[in-house]
Chain A
């Protein structure tokens, strides 16, 4: 009887899978197909991949995106851990409220974020002009519409994102463990090395992957801040797909397929590694 019911109710899952197929599976499949389609003849070809992989302009865009994402993920993660740890020392009520506002800050990305930084640190930004007038060379070399600007803005939304993931796992570390460790004669360093870190390591690694993926996928902030000046893979793809002058959707698709493949590989690999870590723990 249960089986019969199962068969009937599974039909109710159709809308969900229909949506997923229509707006995720099919578009991805078409993207893959068009990446193997010749721009001129419309036949099957590897030429697009050949072009993308040999053109240093495109490989550079992957490298650039990887570097800025890697930097912002590592620096953001370290700062997120420090802030999360500080948060666990606050009164409980305050902690819960803070998480809601950190969620808000994590949403403060893209156009508004870029603009806020332009007001302050842009070429005619308030701070820039003020410091120029005051003859303070503090930010003399600083250029917002460059890597430095990207690093600052990326960090701004990466830290709250990191906190949202790291904080819950730090909360799970019990005070009793620390007490027990100290009672058995462990130093603070030993405690963190043997008990604390191994416990939060999986979620640190998971958070790093999410932050890295988040950085790689960032388009709006970079676009609003630097236009197309900086060669990032997302900006390249968007320009190739929707640009009016340089539109080459087939090459855009090829880059997008490579991007998705790399990200999926990273996610899958991290899952595998994490499972291994977990097994070691058990």
Chain B
């Protein structure tokens, strides 16, 4: 009886929350599909002309391409550096692991604006191109998610035991990493990558401060058009969010338990990410204990 009552309240709370969350999305969509919308509750008409105008603007295409280029470059650097590092640290250097747990929290203390201040002082006007600096800054910014994401994937497949077994059978560390670990954490990696992808693609603060108008990514383009034509700017946002929703759909699909039977454990990986990001902050001490136990 009582459980049922709680259920109704829960749905009510979630419905109100959902409305609050959807409200800006929906209004942006209607704004993007109307010629003019003012002082009426609902827009007067429905049109795709802003989208057409957008597609015809070469600057938009250029901005999208730039955003993709920046995102893929940064993702490549992040993955190539982080995956082997976290693997090694997790399997062989528990002390470094502890140190890194603290280090990856740094972006919380040093948000984009602060990091950009330091980077500008250091690198502006030097031989190092600012584009590279931006990639480096994105790398730093993605540390908390990447580190936790990879580490959780490794943890969920019991990497230490797998490596031990492989070594008993005569495999080197490198072989077991490439042939056993990588194929097993593929899905977890993909999900972490997709989450970071949406972050990189929509990055604004670092890009704007470090490079600014010289490298107009989609967010910078958005801000520029926002001051010119609101309806057009809305259509950019709709396009941008369709992309992000697409990514979210892919993630839900990949993590869906119905997709493949034996992969069921992977479903928890994405939740696992979240749990341990929170835990890395709040329950570091338990982590220490766990580490110690594992070492023994």
Contact = CB atoms under 8 A, between A and B. Distances in A.
B294 interface: no
Interface stretch (A44-52, A56-64, A106-114): A106-114
B13 A256 contact: no
Interface centre among B117, B173, B222 (most CB of A within 10 A): B117
Contacts of A266: 109
B162 interface: no
A100 B251 contact: yes
A238 interface: yes
A240 B189 CA distance: 39
Interface stretch (A24-32, A140-148, A189-197): A24-32
B27 A19 contact: no
B193 to A, nearest CB: 14
Interface string A238-274: 1001100000010011001001100110110011001
B181 interface: no
A203 interface: yes
Interface string B261-291: 0000001001100110111011111100000
A200 B234 CA distance: 40
Contacts of B38: 124, 126, 129
A241 B116 CA distance: 9
B21 A160 contact: yes
A260 B27 CA distance: 37
A82 B13 contact: yes
Given A22-B136, A30-B121, A168-B271, A238 B113 contact: yes
A194 B10 CA distance: 23
Contacts of A93: 257
B108 to A, nearest CB: 5
Contacts of A167: 274
B252 A31 contact: no
A263 B82 CA distance: 26
Contacts of A218: 111
Contacts of B257: 93
B290 to A, nearest CB: 13
Interface string B23-44: 1110110010000011111000
Contact of A126 (B17, B27, B89, B108): B27
B171 interface: no
Contact of A107 (B116, B137, B198): B198
A1 B182 CA distance: 26
B21 A105 contact: yes
Interface in B104-133: 105-106, 108-123, 133
Interface residues of A, number: 100
Contacts of B88: 9, 12-13
Given A167-B274, A219-B205, A19 B139 contact: yes
B108 A107 contact: no
Contacts of A206: 278, 281-283
A78 interface: no
Nearest to B17: A83
B255 interface: yes
B237 A115 contact: yes
A16 B82 CA distance: 7
Interface stretch (B50-58, B64-72, B241-249): B241-249
B28 A115 contact: yes
A129 B255 CA distance: 44
Interface string B199-227: 10010110001001000000100110010
B165 interface: no
B282 A168 contact: no
Nearest to B280: A206
B111 A217 contact: yes
B16 to A, nearest CB: 9
B104 to A, nearest CB: 10
B25 A219 contact: no
A217 B112 contact: yes
A165 B39 contact: no
A210 B281 contact: yes
Contacts of B281: 165, 206-207, 209-210, 270-271
22 contacts: A13-B88, A16-B82, A19-B136, A23-B136, A27-B119, A86-B11, A87-B10, A96-B267, A108-B241, A115-B233, A126-B41, A165-B274, A168-B275, A169-B275, A220-B204, A238-B116, A242-B209, A256-B118, A260-B110, A263-B109, A267-B109, A279-B285
Interface of A: 5-6, 9-10, 12-13, 15-16, 19-20, 22-24, 26-28, 30-31, 34, 79, 82-83, 85-87, 89-90, 93, 96-97, 99-101, 103-105, 107-108, 110-113, 115-120, 124, 126, 129-130, 132-133, 156, 159-160, 164-169, 171, 202-203, 205-207, 209-210, 213-214, 216-220, 224, 234, 237-238, 241-242, 249, 252-253, 256, 259-260, 263-264, 266-267, 270-271, 274-275, 278-279
Given A210-B108, A219-B111, 9 more contacts: A9-B92, A12-B85, A12-B88, A27-B115, A105-B21, A110-B204, A126-B27, A241-B209, A242-B120
Shortest 4 CB-CB contacts between residues of A and residues of B: A217-B111, A206-B282, A27-B118, A116-B24
